[in-house]
Amino acid sequence: MTGPRPDGQRFNGQRFDGQRFDGLRFDGTVRRGSFTLRAGFSLAGGEVLGVLGPNGAGKSTLLRTLAGLAGLATGRIELAGRPLDEPATGEFQPPERRPVGLVFQNYRLFPHLTVRDNVAFAGRSRGLPSRAARLAADGWLDRFGLTELAGQKPAQLSGGQAQRVALARALAAEPALLLLDEPMAALDVHTRLQVRTELSRQLAGFTGPTLLVSHDPLEALVLADRLLVLEQGRVVQDAPAAEVARRPATQYVARLVGLNLYPGRAVAGADPTEVRLDGGGSLVGLPVEQPVDAGRRMLVTVPPSAIVLHAARPAGMSARNVWPGRVAGLEPLVDRVRVRVDGAPSALVDITPAALAELSLGEGTGVWLSVKATEVACYPDQPGD
């Protein structure tokens, strides 16, 4: 990704400081029936923010609010120094007056218009005569490799082509903010990889801030500089993509990035740190930052591949990070088997098929688990607002 890449810290500030800021600032609440979304974040030009979260977390609500298809209940949205929505002052720019491009999940191409006229739509809306709008559209079609499809109707396009048309159509409006709602969700797995690469290239050419909603962590990690994780209408994590992958703040994110995550409390005077886990048991690991105060709320992650299963209590190992469990389930992965083990703590463990055979594991089999302290990461739990 090109463009300025501000470090996460600087733009994680949730308050407005009154200075002119050439990006997006969102701080407010949105209500939809009994659901409330509350979020605060800033986004600089050229930065791609991936918005992750389970279904119903408020991802689409956030996009709709930014696009003006829904309104804030309280707070303020500001884009390039101009307020878009601020209930307190009665300021509300309707969608057609916002320089915001939205690529919908199902693309929403106009079925009665050709590809060219779809891309020319924004120009026509600005009042350009049809010839001028089409000329402008041709430039975008060229840039997106769609020239040959110019005369086709959306129904004739493949999923990947429709996705490109939708993006070209949105960018042709020359938005200051680009919103992508699960851009890959409507594509089959085969097309996804190719489109993702292409999308990443196309996004690089956009100078404004970009918000990309996804529930595919890989997609978000590849395309986004920073991730905002929403759960139940709240921001639970807002950090650079790599940090989210390494230090997930919630079980949801941990599952997405494939880590065992345990909340707990640091035990006094331990180095490496021992954390007493809320769900029972304790783990000793390396703290990400020193020193760790006793009693501090901590999160502990363990990669499933770092845990070793034994048929009996392993001899010759220190008592640290060794605990008994019982197999609760087996799930084949590509070249491994994921074993669900109940214990204190319960864990997902990835083993090779050979190890599975050797241990003759089945549901209910008693096992011992062990993990090296160097594979256990501990970091302070910072609950979102």
Partner 1 sequence: MDRPQRVPAVLAVPAAVGFAFLLLPLLALLIRTPWRGLGRLLASTSGLTALRLSLECATAATGLSLLLGVPLAWVLARVRLPGIALLRSVVLLPLVLPPVVGGLALLLALGRNGVFGRYGYAAFGYSLPFTTGGVVVAETFVAMPFLVVTVEGAIRSADRELEEAAATLGANRAQVFRRVTLPLIGPSVLAGAVLCWARALGEFGATITFAGSFPGTTQTMPLAVYNALQTDPEPAVALSLVLLLVAVLVLAALRDQWLRPGGLR
Where along the sequence are the contacts to partner 1 (CB under 8 A)?
Answer: 67-69, 94-98, 100-102, 104, 106, 108, 110-112, 121-122, 124-126, 169-170, 173
3-state secondary structure of 379: strand
Q: Give the helix/strand (H/E) hosting 142.
A: helix 130-143
For residue 162, which of 197, 114, 204 has the smallest C-alpha distance?
Answer: 114
Q: Minimal distance in Å, beta carbon 167 to partner 1? A: 13
Q: Which residue has the tokens 């880590």?
A: 259
Q: Are 322 and 336 in contact (CB under 8 A)?
A: no
Distance CA 326, CA 321 (A): 16
Q: Are 159 and 127 in contact (CB under 8 A)?
A: no
Q: What is the DSSP letter of 188?
A: -
Q: Are 169 and 122 in contact (CB under 8 A)?
A: yes
Q: Minimal distance in Å, beta carbon 175 to partner 1? A: 9
Dihedral class, residue 158 (left if φ above 0, else alpha if ψ from -120 to 50, else beta): beta
Cα dist from 98 to 65, 164, 344, whole Å: 11, 22, 53
Query: CB-based contacts of 139: which residues, under 8 Å, 6+ apart?
Result: none
Q: Are 327 and 291 in contact (CB under 8 A)?
A: no
Q: What are phi and psi of 192, to 5 degrees?
A: -55, -50
Minimum CB distance to partner 1 smaller for 164 or for 169: 169
Minimum CB distance to partner 1 smaller for 103 or for 339: 103
Minimum CB distance to partner 1 smaller for 161 or for 260: 161
Peptide bond into 248 cis (omega under 30): no
Length of the chain: 385
Structure tokens at 105: 């999940």
Q: Minimal distance in Å, beta carbon 125 to partner 1? A: 4
Q: Which residue has the tokens 């990443």?
A: 200
Minimum CB distance to partner 1 smaller for 82 or for 126: 126
Q: Minimal distance in Å, beta carbon 116 to partner 1? A: 14
Q: Minimal distance in Å, beta carbon 233 to partner 1? A: 22
Q: What is the DSSP letter of 358?
A: H
Minimum CB distance to partner 1 smaller for 166 or for 347: 166
Q: Minimal distance in Å, beta carbon 204 to partner 1? A: 22
Q: Minimal distance in Å, beta carbon 100 to partner 1? A: 7
Minimum CB distance to partner 1 smaller for 57 or for 172: 172
Minimum CB distance to partner 1 smaller for 26 or for 323: 26
Q: Minimal distance in Å, beta carbon 64 to partner 1? A: 9
Q: Minimal distance in Å, beta carbon 166 to partner 1? A: 9
Q: Minimal distance in Å, beta carbon 162 to partner 1? A: 13
Q: Are 53 and 231 in contact (CB under 8 A)?
A: yes
β pairing state of 377-380 and 297-302: antiparallel
Minimum CB distance to partner 1 smaller for 170 or for 348: 170
Minimum CB distance to partner 1 smaller for 175 or for 264: 175
Cα dist from 156 to 159, 261, 289, 301, whole Å: 10, 46, 55, 48
Minimum CB distance to partner 1 smaller for 66 or for 348: 66
Cα dist from 281 to 1, 272, 287, whole Å: 43, 16, 18
